[in-house]
Structure 1
Amino acid sequence: MSVRQEFDAWAADGRDRGMEERHWQTAKHALARMPAGPGDTVLDLGTGSGYALRALADTKDIARGYGLDGSPEMARNAREYTEEEPSAADLGGETPAASTADLGFVVGDFGHLPFADDSIDHAFSMEAFYYSADPHETLREVARVLRPGGTFHCAVNYYEENVHSHAWQDNISVDMTRWDADQYREAFEEAGLAVASQDNVPDRDVEIPPAEEFPTENWETREEMVERYRTYGTLLTVGVAL
Protein backbone atom coordinates (compact mmCIF):
# COMPACT_ATOMS: atom_id res chain seq x y z
CA MET A 1 0.00 0.00 0.00
CA SER A 2 1.26 3.49 -0.83
CA VAL A 3 1.67 6.36 1.61
CA ARG A 4 -1.30 8.03 -0.05
CA GLN A 5 -3.57 5.01 0.34
CA GLU A 6 -2.50 4.33 3.92
CA PHE A 7 -3.05 7.84 5.19
CA ASP A 8 -6.13 8.54 3.12
CA ALA A 9 -7.66 5.66 5.08
CA TRP A 10 -6.42 7.15 8.37
CA ALA A 11 -7.94 10.53 7.51
CA ALA A 12 -11.24 8.98 6.48
CA ASP A 13 -11.79 7.31 9.85
CA GLY A 14 -10.58 10.19 12.02
CA ARG A 15 -7.19 8.86 13.01
CA ASP A 16 -5.61 12.18 12.03
CA ARG A 17 -7.19 13.72 15.14
CA GLY A 18 -5.87 10.84 17.22
CA MET A 19 -2.35 11.48 15.94
CA GLU A 20 -2.75 15.16 16.74
CA GLU A 21 -3.63 14.42 20.37
CA ARG A 22 -0.77 11.96 20.87
CA HIS A 23 1.90 13.94 19.05
CA TRP A 24 1.03 17.23 20.72
CA GLN A 25 2.48 15.95 23.99
CA THR A 26 6.03 16.41 22.68
CA ALA A 27 5.40 18.43 19.51
CA LYS A 28 4.44 21.47 21.57
CA HIS A 29 7.90 21.53 23.13
CA ALA A 30 9.65 21.13 19.77
CA LEU A 31 7.55 23.92 18.25
CA ALA A 32 8.32 26.21 21.18
CA ARG A 33 12.02 25.93 20.35
CA MET A 34 11.59 26.98 16.74
CA PRO A 35 12.92 30.54 16.24
CA ALA A 36 10.02 31.49 13.98
CA GLY A 37 8.41 34.89 14.29
CA PRO A 38 6.30 37.56 12.62
CA GLY A 39 6.76 37.63 8.87
CA ASP A 40 8.22 34.13 8.63
CA THR A 41 7.17 31.35 6.28
CA VAL A 42 7.09 27.82 7.74
CA LEU A 43 6.83 24.45 6.00
CA ASP A 44 5.30 21.49 7.85
CA LEU A 45 6.26 18.14 6.29
CA GLY A 46 3.66 15.45 6.86
CA THR A 47 1.21 17.98 8.22
CA GLY A 48 -1.59 15.52 9.03
CA SER A 49 -4.42 17.51 10.61
CA GLY A 50 -2.42 20.74 10.31
CA TYR A 51 -2.22 21.29 14.06
CA ALA A 52 1.45 22.33 14.08
CA LEU A 53 0.92 25.23 11.68
CA ARG A 54 -2.15 26.43 13.55
CA ALA A 55 -0.17 26.38 16.79
CA LEU A 56 2.72 28.32 15.23
CA ALA A 57 0.31 30.87 13.78
CA ASP A 58 -1.31 31.36 17.18
CA THR A 59 1.82 31.45 19.32
CA LYS A 60 4.53 32.88 17.05
CA ASP A 61 2.49 35.01 14.65
CA ILE A 62 4.05 33.56 11.50
CA ALA A 63 2.94 35.20 8.27
CA ARG A 64 2.56 32.11 6.12
CA GLY A 65 2.52 28.35 6.59
CA TYR A 66 2.49 25.51 4.12
CA GLY A 67 1.40 22.07 5.25
CA LEU A 68 2.51 19.35 2.85
CA ASP A 69 1.17 15.80 2.99
CA GLY A 70 1.26 12.80 0.69
CA SER A 71 -2.40 12.13 1.44
CA PRO A 72 -5.06 14.23 -0.31
CA GLU A 73 -7.56 13.35 2.43
CA MET A 74 -5.18 14.54 5.15
CA ALA A 75 -4.65 17.83 3.32
CA ARG A 76 -8.39 18.24 2.80
CA ASN A 77 -9.12 17.60 6.48
CA ALA A 78 -6.39 20.04 7.54
CA ARG A 79 -8.01 22.78 5.44
CA GLU A 80 -11.40 22.09 6.99
CA TYR A 81 -10.07 21.99 10.55
CA THR A 82 -8.25 25.28 10.00
CA GLU A 83 -11.40 26.95 8.73
CA GLU A 84 -13.54 25.53 11.53
CA GLU A 85 -11.18 26.10 14.46
CA PRO A 86 -8.14 28.33 13.80
CA SER A 87 -6.37 27.25 16.98
CA ALA A 88 -4.61 23.96 17.63
CA ALA A 89 -2.87 25.35 20.70
CA ASP A 90 -6.04 24.86 22.76
CA LEU A 91 -4.87 21.27 23.19
CA GLY A 92 -2.48 22.65 25.79
CA GLY A 93 -4.78 25.05 27.62
CA GLU A 94 -6.44 28.34 26.80
CA THR A 95 -7.46 29.16 23.26
CA PRO A 96 -5.69 32.29 21.97
CA ALA A 97 -7.21 34.77 19.56
CA ALA A 98 -7.55 33.64 15.97
CA SER A 99 -4.44 34.18 13.86
CA THR A 100 -4.26 36.20 10.67
CA ALA A 101 -1.58 33.93 9.18
CA ASP A 102 -2.06 32.62 5.66
CA LEU A 103 -2.11 28.82 6.01
CA GLY A 104 -2.30 26.53 3.00
CA PHE A 105 -2.27 22.75 2.64
CA VAL A 106 -0.94 20.95 -0.40
CA VAL A 107 -0.45 17.38 -1.57
CA GLY A 108 3.14 16.59 -2.44
CA ASP A 109 6.16 14.33 -2.32
CA PHE A 110 8.83 14.84 0.33
CA GLY A 111 11.48 14.21 -2.32
CA HIS A 112 10.21 16.92 -4.71
CA LEU A 113 9.09 19.89 -2.65
CA PRO A 114 7.00 22.34 -4.71
CA PHE A 115 8.81 25.43 -3.45
CA ALA A 116 11.50 27.70 -4.86
CA ASP A 117 15.08 27.72 -3.61
CA ASP A 118 15.61 29.82 -0.44
CA SER A 119 11.88 30.44 -0.01
CA ILE A 120 11.20 28.95 3.45
CA ASP A 121 12.34 30.39 6.79
CA HIS A 122 11.80 27.29 8.91
CA ALA A 123 10.64 23.69 8.41
CA PHE A 124 9.11 21.23 10.83
CA SER A 125 8.22 17.55 10.75
CA MET A 126 6.63 15.51 13.52
CA GLU A 127 6.42 11.75 13.21
CA ALA A 128 6.49 11.82 9.41
CA PHE A 129 10.07 12.05 8.18
CA TYR A 130 10.64 8.30 8.33
CA TYR A 131 7.86 7.71 5.79
CA SER A 132 9.98 9.34 3.08
CA ALA A 133 10.81 7.00 0.20
CA ASP A 134 14.32 8.49 0.13
CA PRO A 135 15.17 10.33 3.37
CA HIS A 136 18.51 11.60 2.01
CA GLU A 137 16.72 13.17 -0.94
CA THR A 138 14.18 14.71 1.42
CA LEU A 139 16.93 16.36 3.45
CA ARG A 140 18.54 17.75 0.31
CA GLU A 141 15.18 19.20 -0.70
CA VAL A 142 14.68 20.74 2.74
CA ALA A 143 18.16 22.29 2.54
CA ARG A 144 17.34 23.63 -0.93
CA VAL A 145 14.12 25.41 0.01
CA LEU A 146 15.39 26.83 3.32
CA ARG A 147 16.89 30.29 3.37
CA PRO A 148 20.44 30.47 4.74
CA GLY A 149 20.18 30.33 8.51
CA GLY A 150 16.75 28.71 8.35
CA THR A 151 16.09 25.71 10.57
CA PHE A 152 14.63 22.24 10.19
CA HIS A 153 13.17 20.77 13.37
CA CYS A 154 12.78 17.04 12.74
CA ALA A 155 10.99 15.09 15.49
CA VAL A 156 10.61 11.30 15.50
CA ASN A 157 9.47 8.69 18.01
CA TYR A 158 10.39 5.80 15.71
CA TYR A 159 14.17 5.52 15.84
CA GLU A 160 16.80 2.92 16.65
CA GLU A 161 17.52 3.76 20.29
CA ASN A 162 13.81 3.68 21.15
CA VAL A 163 13.50 -0.10 21.31
CA HIS A 164 9.85 0.24 22.31
CA SER A 165 9.05 1.65 18.85
CA HIS A 166 10.56 -1.14 16.76
CA ALA A 167 7.36 -3.16 16.48
CA TRP A 168 5.47 -0.23 14.94
CA GLN A 169 6.55 -1.27 11.46
CA ASP A 170 4.46 -4.43 11.86
CA ASN A 171 1.31 -2.32 12.20
CA ILE A 172 1.62 -0.31 9.00
CA SER A 173 2.03 -1.29 5.36
CA VAL A 174 4.30 1.65 4.47
CA ASP A 175 8.06 1.06 4.76
CA MET A 176 9.63 3.17 7.51
CA THR A 177 13.25 4.29 7.91
CA ARG A 178 14.67 3.53 11.35
CA TRP A 179 17.87 5.52 11.90
CA ASP A 180 19.79 6.03 15.10
CA ALA A 181 20.73 9.47 16.39
CA ASP A 182 24.16 9.41 14.75
CA GLN A 183 22.66 8.51 11.39
CA TYR A 184 20.33 11.50 11.63
CA ARG A 185 23.26 13.79 12.38
CA GLU A 186 25.34 12.40 9.52
CA ALA A 187 22.49 12.61 7.01
CA PHE A 188 21.68 16.19 7.99
CA GLU A 189 25.28 17.27 7.56
CA GLU A 190 25.64 15.46 4.22
CA ALA A 191 22.60 17.36 2.95
CA GLY A 192 24.06 20.74 3.95
CA LEU A 193 22.25 21.16 7.26
CA ALA A 194 24.55 21.91 10.18
CA VAL A 195 23.27 20.13 13.29
CA ALA A 196 22.65 22.80 15.90
CA SER A 197 21.25 20.43 18.50
CA GLN A 198 19.94 16.94 19.04
CA ASP A 199 18.22 15.66 22.15
CA ASN A 200 15.31 13.68 23.51
CA VAL A 201 12.11 15.54 24.36
CA PRO A 202 10.35 13.61 27.16
CA ASP A 203 6.63 13.02 27.16
CA ARG A 204 5.54 14.14 30.62
CA ASP A 205 1.83 14.21 29.82
CA VAL A 206 1.39 10.42 29.79
CA GLU A 207 0.49 9.30 33.29
CA ILE A 208 2.65 6.45 34.56
CA PRO A 209 0.99 4.27 37.24
CA PRO A 210 2.81 3.21 40.42
CA ALA A 211 4.91 0.05 40.28
CA GLU A 212 2.33 -2.08 42.12
CA GLU A 213 -0.14 -1.64 39.25
CA PHE A 214 2.11 -3.43 36.76
CA PRO A 215 1.99 -5.38 34.56
CA THR A 216 -0.60 -3.43 32.56
CA GLU A 217 -2.22 -4.29 29.25
CA ASN A 218 0.70 -2.75 27.37
CA TRP A 219 3.65 -2.79 29.77
CA GLU A 220 5.35 -5.52 31.78
CA THR A 221 7.18 -3.17 34.12
CA ARG A 222 7.02 0.45 35.18
CA GLU A 223 10.70 0.84 34.27
CA GLU A 224 9.94 0.07 30.63
CA MET A 225 7.15 2.63 30.50
CA VAL A 226 9.32 5.28 32.16
CA GLU A 227 12.09 4.56 29.65
CA ARG A 228 9.71 4.88 26.69
CA TYR A 229 8.09 8.16 27.69
CA ARG A 230 10.54 9.93 29.98
CA THR A 231 13.93 8.78 28.67
CA TYR A 232 13.44 8.17 24.94
CA GLY A 233 10.39 10.33 24.25
CA THR A 234 10.88 12.10 20.91
CA LEU A 235 14.24 12.45 19.20
CA LEU A 236 14.55 16.04 18.00
CA THR A 237 17.29 16.89 15.51
CA VAL A 238 17.66 20.57 14.57
CA GLY A 239 19.53 21.46 11.40
CA VAL A 240 20.50 24.90 10.12
CA ALA A 241 20.75 25.67 6.40
CA LEU A 242 24.20 26.88 5.36
Structure 2
Amino acid sequence: MSVSDAFDEWARSGKDQGMERRHWHTAKHVLARMPVESEARSDSEQSSEERSDPRDEGDTVLDLGCGSGYAGRALRETKGAGRVYGIDAAPEMAHNASSYTDDPRVGFAIGDFEHLPFDDDSIDHCFSMEAFYYAQDPHAVLAELRRVLRPGGTFYCAVNRWEEHVHSHEWEELVGVPMLLWSEAQYREAFREAGFAVASQDRIPDTETEIPAESDFPTEDWETREAMVERYREYGTLLTVGVNTA
Protein backbone atom coordinates (compact mmCIF):
# COMPACT_ATOMS: atom_id res chain seq x y z
CA MET A 1 0.00 0.00 0.00
CA SER A 2 1.28 3.48 -0.86
CA VAL A 3 1.58 6.25 1.72
CA SER A 4 -1.21 8.26 0.08
CA ASP A 5 -3.53 5.24 -0.01
CA ALA A 6 -2.89 4.46 3.65
CA PHE A 7 -3.56 8.01 4.77
CA ASP A 8 -6.63 8.30 2.55
CA GLU A 9 -8.06 5.36 4.47
CA TRP A 10 -7.19 6.99 7.77
CA ALA A 11 -8.81 10.26 6.72
CA ARG A 12 -12.00 8.55 5.62
CA SER A 13 -12.25 6.71 8.92
CA GLY A 14 -11.66 9.85 11.00
CA LYS A 15 -8.20 8.89 12.18
CA ASP A 16 -6.88 12.30 11.15
CA GLN A 17 -8.55 13.75 14.24
CA GLY A 18 -6.96 11.10 16.45
CA MET A 19 -3.56 11.83 14.95
CA GLU A 20 -4.07 15.51 15.66
CA ARG A 21 -4.85 14.85 19.33
CA ARG A 22 -1.81 12.61 19.80
CA HIS A 23 0.61 14.80 17.89
CA TRP A 24 -0.53 17.93 19.70
CA HIS A 25 1.15 16.77 22.93
CA THR A 26 4.56 17.63 21.48
CA ALA A 27 3.70 19.52 18.30
CA LYS A 28 2.44 22.51 20.29
CA HIS A 29 5.88 22.93 21.86
CA VAL A 30 7.52 22.83 18.42
CA LEU A 31 5.09 25.40 17.03
CA ALA A 32 5.70 27.68 20.01
CA ARG A 33 9.41 27.76 19.19
CA MET A 34 8.98 28.78 15.57
CA PRO A 35 10.02 32.43 14.94
CA VAL A 36 6.93 33.25 12.91
CA GLU A 37 6.30 36.97 12.52
CA SER A 38 2.85 38.45 12.13
CA GLU A 39 2.02 41.55 10.13
CA ALA A 40 3.68 44.55 11.73
CA ARG A 41 0.66 46.83 11.44
CA SER A 42 -3.01 46.47 10.74
CA ASP A 43 -4.32 47.13 7.22
CA SER A 44 -5.84 50.43 8.38
CA GLU A 45 -2.39 51.68 9.40
CA GLN A 46 -0.77 50.86 6.07
CA SER A 47 -0.82 52.73 2.81
CA SER A 48 -2.10 51.00 -0.33
CA GLU A 49 1.49 50.76 -1.59
CA GLU A 50 2.60 49.00 1.60
CA ARG A 51 -0.33 46.60 1.49
CA SER A 52 0.70 45.54 -2.02
CA ASP A 53 3.86 43.96 -0.61
CA PRO A 54 2.97 40.40 0.53
CA ARG A 55 5.84 40.43 3.04
CA ASP A 56 3.90 43.03 5.04
CA GLU A 57 1.17 40.47 5.69
CA GLY A 58 3.37 38.37 7.96
CA ASP A 59 5.45 35.25 7.41
CA THR A 60 4.46 32.50 5.01
CA VAL A 61 4.61 29.02 6.51
CA LEU A 62 4.55 25.62 4.81
CA ASP A 63 3.15 22.60 6.68
CA LEU A 64 4.78 19.56 5.06
CA GLY A 65 2.54 16.51 5.47
CA CYS A 66 -0.25 18.58 6.98
CA GLY A 67 -2.75 15.84 7.87
CA SER A 68 -5.78 17.52 9.43
CA GLY A 69 -4.15 20.94 9.09
CA TYR A 70 -4.04 21.63 12.82
CA ALA A 71 -0.55 23.17 12.71
CA GLY A 72 -1.49 25.80 10.15
CA ARG A 73 -4.61 26.75 12.05
CA ALA A 74 -2.61 27.04 15.26
CA LEU A 75 0.06 29.24 13.68
CA ARG A 76 -2.60 31.58 12.34
CA GLU A 77 -4.42 31.75 15.68
CA THR A 78 -1.44 32.03 18.02
CA LYS A 79 1.29 33.68 15.94
CA GLY A 80 -0.59 35.56 13.27
CA ALA A 81 1.22 33.91 10.38
CA GLY A 82 0.52 35.86 7.22
CA ARG A 83 -0.28 32.81 5.15
CA VAL A 84 -0.13 29.06 5.69
CA TYR A 85 0.00 26.34 3.04
CA GLY A 86 -0.45 22.67 3.85
CA ILE A 87 0.78 19.94 1.52
CA ASP A 88 -0.26 16.31 1.82
CA ALA A 89 0.15 13.34 -0.51
CA ALA A 90 -3.25 11.96 0.51
CA PRO A 91 -6.20 13.70 -1.25
CA GLU A 92 -8.62 12.81 1.56
CA MET A 93 -6.33 14.37 4.17
CA ALA A 94 -6.07 17.61 2.19
CA HIS A 95 -9.85 17.58 1.64
CA ASN A 96 -10.54 17.12 5.36
CA ALA A 97 -8.03 19.81 6.31
CA SER A 98 -9.77 22.28 3.99
CA SER A 99 -13.13 21.50 5.59
CA TYR A 100 -11.86 22.30 9.08
CA THR A 101 -11.22 26.00 8.42
CA ASP A 102 -12.73 28.92 6.53
CA ASP A 103 -9.66 31.13 6.99
CA PRO A 104 -8.82 32.58 3.54
CA ARG A 105 -5.12 32.73 4.48
CA VAL A 106 -4.91 28.98 5.05
CA GLY A 107 -4.81 26.74 2.00
CA PHE A 108 -4.21 23.06 1.32
CA ALA A 109 -2.94 21.18 -1.71
CA ILE A 110 -2.21 17.61 -2.79
CA GLY A 111 1.40 16.97 -3.74
CA ASP A 112 4.64 15.15 -3.08
CA PHE A 113 7.43 16.54 -0.98
CA GLU A 114 10.03 16.32 -3.75
CA HIS A 115 8.15 18.71 -6.08
CA LEU A 116 6.69 21.63 -4.14
CA PRO A 117 4.38 24.04 -6.01
CA PHE A 118 6.14 27.19 -4.82
CA ASP A 119 8.55 29.69 -6.29
CA ASP A 120 12.15 29.94 -5.17
CA ASP A 121 12.64 31.89 -1.92
CA SER A 122 8.87 32.16 -1.33
CA ILE A 123 8.47 30.47 2.08
CA ASP A 124 9.67 31.85 5.43
CA HIS A 125 9.35 28.72 7.56
CA CYS A 126 8.47 25.06 7.17
CA PHE A 127 7.00 22.77 9.81
CA SER A 128 6.71 19.01 9.49
CA MET A 129 5.36 16.60 12.10
CA GLU A 130 5.46 12.82 11.68
CA ALA A 131 5.78 13.12 7.90
CA PHE A 132 9.40 13.51 6.81
CA TYR A 133 10.17 9.82 7.28
CA TYR A 134 7.62 8.91 4.59
CA ALA A 135 9.69 10.65 1.90
CA GLN A 136 10.92 8.32 -0.83
CA ASP A 137 14.00 10.51 -1.35
CA PRO A 138 14.66 12.53 1.84
CA HIS A 139 17.73 14.21 0.35
CA ALA A 140 15.62 15.49 -2.57
CA VAL A 141 13.05 16.81 -0.09
CA LEU A 142 15.71 18.77 1.78
CA ALA A 143 17.03 20.19 -1.48
CA GLU A 144 13.51 21.22 -2.49
CA LEU A 145 12.90 22.85 0.87
CA ARG A 146 16.12 24.81 0.57
CA ARG A 147 14.94 26.00 -2.85
CA VAL A 148 11.59 27.34 -1.62
CA LEU A 149 12.79 28.71 1.71
CA ARG A 150 14.06 32.26 1.80
CA PRO A 151 17.64 32.86 3.01
CA GLY A 152 17.48 32.55 6.78
CA GLY A 153 14.26 30.55 6.58
CA THR A 154 13.83 27.64 8.96
CA PHE A 155 12.77 24.00 8.76
CA TYR A 156 11.33 22.52 11.96
CA CYS A 157 11.41 18.77 11.40
CA ALA A 158 9.68 16.71 14.11
CA VAL A 159 9.64 12.92 14.01
CA ASN A 160 8.66 10.19 16.45
CA ARG A 161 10.53 7.46 14.60
CA TRP A 162 14.30 7.46 14.47
CA GLU A 163 17.19 5.06 15.09
CA GLU A 164 17.81 5.80 18.78
CA HIS A 165 14.09 5.50 19.55
CA VAL A 166 14.03 1.72 19.92
CA HIS A 167 10.27 1.58 20.52
CA SER A 168 9.57 3.01 17.05
CA HIS A 169 11.42 0.43 14.96
CA GLU A 170 8.37 -1.80 14.45
CA TRP A 171 6.17 1.01 13.15
CA GLU A 172 6.99 0.37 9.51
CA GLU A 173 5.54 -3.13 9.80
CA LEU A 174 2.50 -1.88 11.70
CA VAL A 175 1.71 0.94 9.26
CA GLY A 176 2.50 -1.16 6.21
CA VAL A 177 4.41 1.47 4.20
CA PRO A 178 8.17 2.19 3.82
CA MET A 179 9.51 4.52 6.51
CA LEU A 180 12.89 6.21 6.90
CA LEU A 181 14.93 5.26 9.96
CA TRP A 182 17.75 7.79 10.37
CA SER A 183 19.81 8.36 13.48
CA GLU A 184 20.03 11.75 15.13
CA ALA A 185 23.49 12.20 13.59
CA GLN A 186 22.18 11.28 10.14
CA TYR A 187 19.51 13.98 10.38
CA ARG A 188 22.15 16.56 11.24
CA GLU A 189 24.48 15.38 8.47
CA ALA A 190 21.73 15.37 5.81
CA PHE A 191 20.58 18.85 6.80
CA ARG A 192 24.12 20.20 6.51
CA GLU A 193 24.73 18.47 3.19
CA ALA A 194 21.60 20.14 1.82
CA GLY A 195 22.81 23.59 2.86
CA PHE A 196 21.06 23.99 6.20
CA ALA A 197 22.82 25.07 9.36
CA VAL A 198 21.62 22.89 12.23
CA ALA A 199 20.42 25.40 14.80
CA SER A 200 19.36 22.78 17.32
CA GLN A 201 18.37 19.18 17.82
CA ASP A 202 16.67 17.85 20.91
CA ARG A 203 13.96 15.53 22.18
CA ILE A 204 10.63 16.91 23.32
CA PRO A 205 9.02 14.59 25.89
CA ASP A 206 5.34 13.77 25.83
CA THR A 207 4.23 14.63 29.36
CA GLU A 208 0.51 14.31 28.69
CA THR A 209 -0.01 10.71 27.60
CA GLU A 210 -1.37 8.92 30.65
CA ILE A 211 0.81 6.11 31.94
CA PRO A 212 -1.09 3.51 34.01
CA ALA A 213 0.07 2.21 37.36
CA GLU A 214 2.58 -0.63 37.47
CA SER A 215 -0.16 -3.03 38.56
CA ASP A 216 -1.96 -2.55 35.22
CA PHE A 217 0.91 -4.01 33.17
CA PRO A 218 1.30 -5.78 30.86
CA THR A 219 -1.23 -3.98 28.69
CA GLU A 220 -2.32 -4.63 25.11
CA ASP A 221 0.53 -2.47 23.82
CA TRP A 222 3.18 -2.53 26.55
CA GLU A 223 4.86 -5.32 28.46
CA THR A 224 6.29 -3.06 31.16
CA ARG A 225 5.59 0.35 32.59
CA GLU A 226 9.30 1.19 32.28
CA ALA A 227 9.14 0.78 28.50
CA MET A 228 6.11 3.05 28.22
CA VAL A 229 7.73 5.70 30.39
CA GLU A 230 10.85 5.53 28.23
CA ARG A 231 8.79 5.86 25.04
CA TYR A 232 6.91 8.97 26.09
CA ARG A 233 8.97 10.69 28.75
CA GLU A 234 12.52 10.04 27.50
CA TYR A 235 12.22 9.73 23.72
CA GLY A 236 9.08 11.70 22.90
CA THR A 237 9.62 13.61 19.64
CA LEU A 238 12.93 14.35 17.96
CA LEU A 239 13.13 17.93 16.68
CA THR A 240 15.83 19.00 14.25
CA VAL A 241 15.89 22.68 13.29
CA GLY A 242 17.64 23.76 10.12
CA VAL A 243 18.31 27.29 8.88
CA ASN A 244 18.71 27.98 5.16
CA THR A 245 22.20 29.41 4.77
CA ALA A 246 21.72 30.48 1.13
> SS of 1:25's equivalent?
helix
Instruction: Note the alpha carbon deviations across 1:86-123, whole angstroms, 9 max, x for none.
Output: xxxxxxxxxxxxxx660000011100111111100000
Q: Of residues 199, 212, 222 in structure 1, which corresponds to 2:202?
A: 199
Q: CA deviation at 1:22?
A: 0.6
For 2:184 and 2:62, the matched residues in 1 are separated by 23
Instruction: Note the alpha carbon deviations across 1:140-193, whole angstroms, 9 max, x for none.
Output: 111111111111000000111111111111122321101010000000000111
- Is the 1:112–1:141 contact (alpha carbons within 8 Å) kept by the matching residues of 2? yes
How does 1:18-29 map onto structure 2 within 5 Å?
Answer: 18-29=18-29
The alpha-carbon distance between structure 1 residues 68 and 224, as it changes in their structure 2 partners (threshold 3 A), is same
1:63 alignment counterpart: 82
Q: Is 1:81–2:69 an aligned residue pair?
A: no
Q: Of residues 49, 72, 77 in structure 1, which corresponds to 2:91?
A: 72
> SS of 2:170's equivalent?
helix
Q: Is 1:36–2:36 an aligned residue pair?
A: yes
TM-score of the superposition, structure 2-length normalised? 0.89
For 2:104 and 2:125, the matched residues in 1 are separated by 15
Give me the identity figure in percent.
66
> SS of 1:199's equivalent?
strand
TM-score of the superposition, structure 1-length normalised? 0.91
The alpha-carbon distance between structure 1 residues 189 and 21, as it changes in their structure 2 partners (threshold 3 A), is same
Q: CA deviation at 1:216?
A: 2.3
Count, aligned residues: 226
Runs of 4+ in 1 over 4 A off after TM superposition: none
Opposite residue 125 of structure 2, the aligned amino acid is H
> SS of 2:100's equivalent?
helix
Rg larger in structure: 2
- Is the 1:68–1:108 contact (alpha carbons within 8 Å) kept by the matching residues of 2? yes
- RMSD (Å) for aligned C-alpha atoms: 1.1
Q: CA deviation at 1:214?
A: 2.4
Instruction: Note the alpha carbon deviations across 1:42-80, whole angstroms, 9 max, x for none.
Output: 000000000000000000000100000001111110000
